Amino acid sequence: MMVRVRIAPSPTGIPHIGNTRTAFFNYLFAKHNKGKFIVRIEDTDRARFVAGAEKAIYEILQWLGIVWDEKYKQSERVEIYKKHAEQLLEKDLAYKDEGAVRFKVPGSQEVSWTDLIGNKKISFKTDVIEDFVILKSDGFPTYHLANVVDDHLMDISHVIRGDEWISSTPKHILLYVAFGWQPPVFAHMPVILGPDKTKLSKRHGVRSVLDLRRDGYLKEALLNFMALLGWNPGGDKEIMDINEMIKLFDLKDVNTNSPIFDINKLDWI
């Protein structure tokens, strides 16, 4: 199987270290497997759009040398999503609700997948999932529809993302089934925590990679530091250059526990 992975950032703000780490792990996985790394801007939520965010996403990737093989932008693909929503309407798997289109969640089923991080089975009962919107009344798709349609059409083999998306995955799997498509392999990475063990945020004084660059950190150090946020190549190896990281990277060595962001570690590197 050809490995094709993607990051799917929404331009709703300047990417934080968590998003950037996700990008880097996708990149390492792609390069290790001689696959492709794709950037897809998920800009279909017009209400949350932040000017300058897309530029910052590319600036960060470029500075770090996380080079993409292909790039896409969802706002240029709206017709594709509409067409797919119509397919589900025709098959009676979705219905109109005040100008929006909702997916009909089948009752009394179990949806499950084996997550590559920790190799564990995750299941949800469909009874706890309500009929969700796939196309909004402004004609734009929701995240769920656009994400699934694109992951399929772009031949994504592995979806590697933060574990805050786990609750979306059963909805995605239901959409794959409705379309008659094979879902990709899912790998949900534990979210990064601050030193006080709560979800890393601005409160912890940690900002974006652009701020860290301004503070004078070298990109080589940042890449090395980010790699160690959740990945352990085994042994006590800690200082690595990019080629070494590509050579050693394996999703089975990504920890199932949340990594703790420690600025002293970055300083040390």
As a whole number of angstroms, the distance between CA 40 and CA 155 comes to 13
- Select the span of 6-14, 54-62, 77-85, 233-241 touching ligand GLU (CB under 6 A): 6-14
Among 4, 5, 8, 21, binds ligand GLU (CB under 6 A): 8
Q: How far is CA 259 from the centre of its chain?
A: 17
Burial tier of 194 (Cβ tally within 10 Å: 0-12, 13-18, 19+): middle
As a whole number of angstroms, the distance between CA 24 and CA 27 comes to 5
Q: How far is the CB of 177 from ligand GLU (least distance, A)?
A: 18
- Select the span of 8-16, 28-36, 59-67, 204-212 touching ligand GLU (CB under 6 A): 8-16
Helices 219-227 + 53-64 axis angle, to 10: 100
Among 18, 23, 42, 183, binds ligand GLU (CB under 6 A): 42
Q: Which is nearer to ligand GLU, 55 or 91 (CB)?
A: 55
Q: How far is the CB of 60 from ligand GLU (least distance, A)?
A: 14
Report yes or no: 164 and 191 within 8 Å, Cβ to Cβ: yes
Among 147, 157, 208, 224, binds ligand GLU (CB under 6 A): 147
Residues forming beta bridges with residue 72, ordered by sequence position: 40
Q: How far is the CB of 238 from ligand GLU (least distance, A)?
A: 28
Q: How far is the CB of 114 from ligand GLU (least distance, A)?
A: 18
Q: Which is nearer to ligand GLU, 101 or 151 (CB)?
A: 151
- Select the span of 3-11, 59-67, 223-231, 259-267 touching ligand GLU (CB under 6 A): 3-11
> Judged by CB under 6 A, does residue 10 bind ligand GLU?
yes
As a whole number of angstroms, the distance between CA 96 and CA 99 comes to 6
Q: Which is nearer to ligand GLU, 42 or 115 (CB)?
A: 42
As a whole number of angstroms, the distance between CA 123 and CA 121 comes to 7
Catalytic residue among 202, 237, 252, 265: 202
The SS3 of residue 11 is coil
Q: Which is nearer to ligand GLU, 192 or 266 (CB)?
A: 192
> Is 202 a known active-site residue?
yes
Q: How far is the CB of 79 from ligand GLU (least distance, A)?
A: 20
> Judged by CB under 6 A, does residue 171 bind ligand GLU?
no
As a whole number of angstroms, the distance between CA 165 and CA 18 comes to 13
Residue type, 91: K
Rounded to 5°, the CA angle 25-174-137 comes to: 95
Nearest to 92, CA basis, from 105, 80, 79, 104 = 104
Name residue, tokens 């300047």. Answer: 14
Catalytically active residues, by annotation: 202
Q: Which residues are at the interface with ligand GLU (CB under 6 A)?
A: 8-10, 42, 143, 147, 161, 165
